[in-house]
A and B are shown apart, each in its own frame.
Chain A
Amino acid sequence: MIKSKTFGSYLSDIIIWTVLLLLTALCFLPLMNMVSVSFSDSTAAQANQVGLLPVNVNFNSYRLLLEDAQFWRSFMISVERVVLGTALNLLLTVLMAYPLSKNTKQFGARNIYMNVMIFAMLFSGGMIPLFIVVKSLGLMDTIWSLILPGAVPIFNVILLMNFFKSIPDSLEEAAIMDGASKLKILFKIYLPISLPALATIGLFSIVGHWNDYFSGLLYMNSSANFPLQTYIQQLNVDVTKITDPSQLKAIASVSNKTLNAAKIVVSIIPVLLIYPFLQKYFTSGLVIGSVKE
């Protein structure tokens, strides 16, 4: 794409870069603040005096964090959940998106399934009945209670289905002539050219599993089994509700702002690492280009 650049092109480059860098800076600030707090003196943090740079740099919170066995246990539970949960999400999403991407002539019951799924996406019976179902299936306190109830991410199914729709039928017809089965067509033809879409919904699943704290709270009876975000959620305590001196110890143990910040920073590192890794699947022109040729 070598072109002689015009003045207008330079100007638009400058504008684009300025806007992007400004937005990036804006998004970097809160994280910067968290990192600074985690390295600061704890009273300075409590006094709300830490901005973008740490005050009296020290590593105490990270030292304490290393000793916090439950934090790391929860961390590993979250990792396990992300791996298993995302795998199951992707498998089911792919399997459902393919038939749904067909029209009613090709797959008669398509619209019925679709409406049922939209209904399931929007309506819910609330948490008590779901809790009772999970409990009566014997899933309480197991990793499966965090994975199975959300096994079908309907939003992702709809996204992938729309992506599959954009793949021309001609590609499939040749394979049908060769007598390939539906599954084979899906896995051998559709998936290889859908990597950017799969990377996107895969990322959504990973993030969804990593960020969710509520199902951990609901389905885990032993706090030793909490996933990371459920553990971190416990750091928010409303001090104004405390009226009894016996609760003082509890506040003292959670109001350690610097340690809390360190926990949050460490909890973000995995998602910080996973994104660049997935980005390599966002290669331009991969999809439709290969189809059209």
Chain B
Amino acid sequence: MWKRKYRSGQLGYHLMMAPGMIFLIIFSFVPMFGIVMAFQDYVPAKGILGSQWVGLTNFEYMLQIPDSWNILRNTVLIALGKIIFGTIVPIVFALLLNEIRLKWAKRSIQTIVYLPNFLSWAVVAAIVINVFDYHGPINSFLQAFGHQPIMFLASNDWFRTVIIGSDVWKNFGYGAIVYLAALTGIDPGLYEASSIDGANRFQQLLHVTFPGILPTIMLISALNLGNILNAGFDQIYALYNPIVYETGDVIDTYVYRVGLLGQQYSFATAIGLLKSVVSFTLLIAANKLSIKFANLRIF
């Protein structure tokens, strides 16, 4: 009796998974045979069956690029910066917004800060360039304090900072949505209880609000870890120039420039595969660590 019920329950769950799994099989797993292109010299006209096998040549080539380590370092530094600040800023913003009681102001602020997300980097880049112009607001400000103007976007000391900063600025409003949603899930009773205990606003924040959204924070940061090798092609492509290649050239911009010389699908696929392996490993590790230390299963 119990067993049958269990089984029928299992079937119910399987049936619920089925529609989505069918889509995943057709549109994710079937196309995955394309991964073999990473081990070929793929020529579109010859198709996958007709293209020549080259083994690990495409991967070996990555190591032969004279500044492959430099490109890798730029990618990781920029991506890491974006992950760290792109997590902290939205959380702080969401927590601050949560302190506001004026409903219309809360909603308006929320709506405005999420708007930059909808402008493409091609558009935003023009604005960023103007802001950092010699005669732009930032340099005018510096000059008012007697500093020399700085060409931020052509400075290897500043380029990554500007990239991370402008990315955080563009996306924090959108990133905050998930935390704002999580904040709504906190039991108001907890606030009442703590205020009866005499906790002030800051103490409430620390002992009620923050723990309330901690699972969401851990979940989002773990999923973001999967982007450790994605530094953001559109943004960097729109903002970089040859002077800052040494600090700003990342995997994706490099692959793009290689691709310009002809359709180099194999090389791009090999890089993509490598990125996937790294992301997959990191994500699995993050999940394991999270289970072990926080007793929280992310997925």
Query: Is A bound to B?
Result: yes
B88 CB, nearest partner CB in chain A, Å: 13
Assess the A102–B13 pair: CB atoms within 8 A. yes
Assess the B200–A8 pair: CB atoms within 8 A. yes
B280 beta carbon closer than 8 Å to chain A: yes
Assess the B188–A284 pair: CB atoms within 8 A. yes
Residues of B in contact (CB 8 Å), total 85
CB-nearest residue of chain A to B212: A288
The residue from A16, A108, A271 contacting B118, defined by CB atoms under 8 A apart: A271
A142 beta carbon closer than 8 Å to chain B: no
Known: A16-B99, A282-B184. A92 touches B116 (CB 8 A): no
The residue from B26, B172, B177 contacting A133, defined by CB atoms under 8 A apart: B26
Tell me the chain B residues, 202-230 only, with Cβ under 8 Å from chain A. Answer: 202, 215-216, 219, 223, 226
Q: Which of B30-38, B59-67, B155-163 contacts A (4 or more CB under 8 A)?
A: B30-38
B132 beta carbon closer than 8 Å to chain A: no
Assess the B184–A286 pair: CB atoms within 8 A. yes
Assess the A27–B118 pair: CB atoms within 8 A. no
Assess the B34–A288 pair: CB atoms within 8 A. no
Assess the A129–B113 pair: CB atoms within 8 A. no
A53 beta carbon closer than 8 Å to chain B: no
The residue from A17, A34, A121 contacting B123, defined by CB atoms under 8 A apart: A34
Could you tell me the distance between the alpha carbons of A261 and B24 in the complex, rounded to whole angstroms? 38
CB-nearest residue of chain A to B205: A12
Assess the B219–A162 pair: CB atoms within 8 A. yes
B253 beta carbon closer than 8 Å to chain A: no
A181 CB, nearest partner CB in chain B, Å: 7
A158 beta carbon closer than 8 Å to chain B: yes
Assess the A96–B272 pair: CB atoms within 8 A. no
Assess the B111–A125 pair: CB atoms within 8 A. no
Tell me the chain A residues, 96-152 only, with Cβ under 8 Å from chain B. Answer: 96, 98-100, 102, 106-110, 113-114, 116-126, 128-130, 132-134, 137, 148-152
Assess the A122–B283 pair: CB atoms within 8 A. yes
Assess the A120–B9 pair: CB atoms within 8 A. no
- Please indicate the chain A residues that have their CB under 8 angstroms from the CB of B35 in the complex: 123, 125-126
Assess the A196–B185 pair: CB atoms within 8 A. yes
Could you tell me the distance between the alpha carbons of A229 and B295 in the complex, rounded to whole angstroms? 42
A245 beta carbon closer than 8 Å to chain B: no
Known: A96-B16, A162-B219. A276 touches B44 (CB 8 A): no
Could you tell me the distance between the alpha carbons of A26 and B273 in the complex, rounded to whole angstroms? 38
Assess the B109–A30 pair: CB atoms within 8 A. no
A250 beta carbon closer than 8 Å to chain B: no
Assess the B19–A95 pair: CB atoms within 8 A. yes
A161 beta carbon closer than 8 Å to chain B: yes
Mask of B109-140 contacts with A, CB within 8 angstroms, 1/0: 11111111111101110010010000000000
Assess the A133–B187 pair: CB atoms within 8 A. no
- Please indicate the chain A residues that have their CB under 8 angstroms from the CB of B280 in the complex: 118-119, 122-123
- Please indicate the chain A residues that have their CB under 8 angstroms from the CB of B298 in the complex: 158, 162
Could you tell me the distance between the alpha carbons of A24 and B221 in the complex, rounded to whole angstroms? 24
Assess the B13–A182 pair: CB atoms within 8 A. yes
A99 CB, nearest partner CB in chain B, Å: 4
The residue from B31, B44, B124, B226 contacting A125, defined by CB atoms under 8 A apart: B31
Mask of A47-66 contacts with B, CB within 8 angstroms, 1/0: 01000000000000000000
- Please indicate the chain A residues that have their CB under 8 angstroms from the CB of B21 in the complex: 113, 116
B27 beta carbon closer than 8 Å to chain A: yes
Assess the A148–B97 pair: CB atoms within 8 A. no
- Please indicate the chain B residues that have their CB under 8 angstroms from the CB of A44 in the complex: none
Could you tell me the distance between the alpha carbons of A233 and B181 in the complex, rounded to whole angstroms? 32
B12 beta carbon closer than 8 Å to chain A: yes
Known: A182-B9, A207-B174. A92 touches B113 (CB 8 A): no
Assess the A129–B181 pair: CB atoms within 8 A. no
A231 CB, nearest partner CB in chain B, Å: 12
Could you tell me the distance between the alpha carbons of A18 and B156 in the complex, rounded to whole angstroms? 33
Assess the A158–B219 pair: CB atoms within 8 A. yes
Assess the A124–B111 pair: CB atoms within 8 A. no
Could you tell me the distance between the alpha carbons of A188 and B32 in the complex, rounded to whole angstroms? 38
CB-nearest residue of chain B to A270: B118
Tell me the chain A residues, 26-56 only, with Cβ under 8 Å from chain B. Answer: 26-31, 33-34, 48
A249 beta carbon closer than 8 Å to chain B: no
A200 beta carbon closer than 8 Å to chain B: yes
A213 CB, nearest partner CB in chain B, Å: 8
CB-nearest residue of chain A to B35: A125
Assess the B112–A28 pair: CB atoms within 8 A. yes
- Please indicate the chain A residues that have their CB under 8 angstroms from the CB of B172 in the complex: 23
A55 CB, nearest partner CB in chain B, Å: 15
B264 CB, nearest partner CB in chain A, Å: 12
CB-nearest residue of chain A to B296: A162
A76 beta carbon closer than 8 Å to chain B: no
A286 CB, nearest partner CB in chain B, Å: 6
Assess the A125–B32 pair: CB atoms within 8 A. yes
CB-nearest residue of chain B to A280: B107
Known: A122-B279, A159-B178. A151 touches B20 (CB 8 A): yes
20 A–B contacts from the bound complex (CB under 8 Å): A16-B100, A17-B100, A19-B96, A20-B96, A23-B113, A26-B169, A33-B127, A48-B130, A124-B32, A124-B272, A125-B269, A133-B26, A152-B20, A159-B219, A181-B12, A200-B178, A233-B120, A236-B120, A236-B122, A267-B118
Known contacts A182-B13, A200-B177; 17 further A-B pairs (Cβ under 8 A):
A16-B99, A23-B113, A99-B13, A122-B279, A124-B28, A125-B33, A130-B27, A137-B26, A148-B27, A159-B219, A162-B216, A200-B181, A204-B177, A207-B117, A207-B118, A275-B110, A285-B188
